[in-house]
A and B are shown apart, each in its own frame.
Chain A
Amino acid sequence: MKYLDQIDLFLSKGLMIVGGIALLLLMILATGNVTLRIFHVPFSGCYEIISFLGAIVTAAALGYTQRNRDHIIVDILSDKFPPAIKKTVDAVSYLIVAVFFAIVSRQTLLWGLQIRETGELSETLKIIYHPFIFGVAVGFAFLALSGAVDFFKVLLNSEDGEGKVYYE
């Protein structure tokens, strides 16, 4: 369990680095395109690349965000539960999250495979874009993995299921 958790953490952090690079590229590309437009030489495929980078930015953070409990949880009622019930509820919710996002990851992967098989290209640049879809599928797989790790942690009593960060 410990090793699985460490592998999950290591890979999630690795994906965060990929996401960070995509974020900075997104910023540079959008700013660069504005500058190029001033000189009447816009980069025509800019919107497409920005969209693909945006997908990577979000997908790369899915596992790490779940690990850090950064998602908004409404715990106004569940906070009042006795510890044993809270633990059971946590186990159930982690399991649901793991199963659901495993399905989502699989379906996204299948969607990417379908795009690859049909040879679909992006509208403006006419480039293949299924690798980005695979990237999103990998992000969801990490989210499912984090959910599964959390589930086993609760089962093995190594975590109390607490910890959340709110943000608006």
Chain B
Amino acid sequence: MNEAMIGVYGIGIMFAVLFFLRIPAGFTMAIVGFCGIAYVTSIPAACGMIGSELWNIFSSYGLTVIPMFILVGEFIHYAGYNDSLYHATHRWFGHYRGGLAMTTIMASAAFSAISGSNTATAATMSTVAIPSMKKYGYHPMLNAGSVAAGATLGVLIPPSIVLVVYGLYTGQSIGKLFFGNVIPSVILTVLIAATVFFICHRHPDWGPKGEKSSWKQRFQALPEALDILILFAVIMFALFTGIVTATEAAAVSCTLGLIICLARRKLTWNGFVTSIKDTLRISCMVFMIIAGAVIFGRFLTLTRLPFEAAGWISGLGLPNWMLLWVILFCYIIGGCIMDALAFLLVSLPIFYPLVMQMGYDPIWFGQIITIVTTMGSIMPPIGICCYVVAGMAKDIPLRDVFKGSMYYIPSYIIAIILLMLSPYWTVLVLSNLVR
């Protein structure tokens, strides 16, 4: 059998195992990749490879950035900063029509600046924002939809775990990825907030005005929100100057975050222990997906499938933009049915060499696929953010959460088009500044 065909069968088997056997995504990729390598080479060769390969992944210095970024987000989460952020943004935006929904978007963006996770942001903001919006008579679809859409900013706004993993997998600078991500994040945040404005313009009764805060109240709410800003600034400054590695930047922000939380007496012993425990579990989950993807990637490389596919597609003579849209379409479908991170790592060994051969910038491509896959997290049938929101807001049916989230899809599409029309001004202008 042609070796590339073995690769194709491998991908088919991997998806079959993933969908039918209920084996975790990372394990599936590792198992199928291992069996594939054993088939292409030999069982002793595959066995010899697996031990050293997994040790190399687990002991990779670059990957230690992951537990550090997760830990700082956990400290902030268990210290209750979500409440402070929501309170502060509520003071500033709550009196506009749909202001609470916009507050949710802004607070999600601020929380994402530390958290780096969709579902953590969705769970956190659900507990804070949904009761407030319910109290002011917000429509359930606007209520739940804004929380779900706001939560997607979790993987977009730096430090994003998805971008970290993308950077580590493709060998791109995490600092460049984070800085390249700043303008797309702002664009998407503004577009999502603008969507709330348009929804409320169309359905004025969906988002009634809240009470207006005095200027004194507004400024009084700011100091705790400033803590988050300081942490964000530390991470970004450290990465921008290149004086520290990504792991060190994350570790310093962790230490600083812990000191701030303790100084403000916001983090209890229980919160501290739970932060550590959650970090270990989440890091382990992320590492296993990366390990699985690396092993599966090794198998695909052995079959030469990515190179054969790249050669075959370039031989079709289709324009690059058309091929890119086909790839993005795959990511949208993948994002709909799978977790963003898992799909990203499943697909990168297949698509990344192709995209590089087409001559696209890897930093820019990273931003595009992050937006596309995160859009999938509010789309049916999987739409993980919607499931989290529906799980937290028991009285809002999942159907309404999905319906409410659908209003925000055009924002993502506009953001993607903007990124495609002007790669330089949206992504590269800032990422190129990083040393």
Residues of A near any B CB (own CB < 8 A): 16, 19-20, 23-24, 26-31, 33-34, 47, 50-55, 57-62, 64-65, 68, 70-78, 86, 89-90, 92-93, 96-97, 100, 103-104, 107-112, 132-133, 136-137, 140, 161, 166-168
With both beta carbons as reference points, the residue of chain B lying nearest to A74 in the complex is identified as B18
Q: Mark B86-126, 1 if CB is under 8 A from A, else 0.
A: 00000000000000000000000000000001111000000
Interface residues of B in 238-266 (CB under 8 A from A): 244, 247-248, 250-252, 254-255
CB distance A61 to B280 under 8 Å? yes
Within 8 Å CB of B307, what residues of A?
none
CB distance B19 to A74 under 8 Å? yes
Interface residues of B in 382-409 (CB under 8 A from A): 382, 384, 387-388
Residues of B near any A CB (own CB < 8 A): 18-27, 30-31, 34, 47-48, 50-52, 54-55, 58-61, 63-64, 67-68, 71, 117-120, 154-155, 161-162, 244, 247-248, 250-252, 254-255, 273, 276-277, 279-285, 287-289, 337-342, 377, 381-382, 384, 387-388
How close is A50's CB to chain B, nearest CB, in angstroms? 5
With both beta carbons as reference points, the residue of chain A lying nearest to B60 in the complex is identified as A51
Q: How many residue pairs between the two chains, A and B, have CB atoms under 8 Å in the bound complex? A: 198
CB distance B63 to A97 under 8 Å? no
With both beta carbons as reference points, the residue of chain B lying nearest to A104 in the complex is identified as B50
C-alpha gap A167/B118 in the complex (Å): 7
Pick from A23, A59, A97, A133 the residue with the most CB of B within 10 Å.
Answer: A23
C-alpha gap A90/B21 in the complex (Å): 7
Within 8 Å CB of A29, what residues of B?
251
Question: Looking at chain A's contact residues, is the secondary structure mostly helix, strand, loop, or mixed?
Answer: helix
C-alpha gap A112/B59 in the complex (Å): 13
Contact of A34 among B21, B155, B244, B381 (CB under 8 A): B244
Question: Looking at chain B's contact residues, is the secondary structure mostly helix, strand, loop, or mixed?
Answer: helix
Within 8 Å CB of B21, what residues of A?
78, 89, 92-93, 96
Contact of A76 among B64, B161, B280, B337 (CB under 8 A): B337
For the A-B complex with A89-B22, A100-B30 known, give 6 more contacts whose Cβ atoms are closer than 8 Å. Answer: A23-B279, A72-B339, A78-B20, A104-B51, A107-B48, A108-B50
Contact of A100 among B34, B48, B280, B381 (CB under 8 A): B34
What are 17 A-to-B residue pairs whose CB atoms are below 8 Å?
A27-B255, A30-B248, A31-B255, A54-B60, A55-B59, A57-B283, A58-B67, A62-B284, A64-B281, A70-B284, A72-B24, A72-B289, A78-B19, A93-B23, A133-B55, A168-B117, A168-B162
C-alpha gap A62/B24 in the complex (Å): 13
Within 8 Å CB of B282, what residues of A?
70, 167
Within 8 Å CB of A96, what residues of B?
21, 23, 31
- 8 tightest A-B CB contacts, nearest first: A30-B251, A71-B24, A107-B51, A111-B51, A54-B64, A61-B284, A61-B280, A55-B58
CB distance B47 to A103 under 8 Å? yes
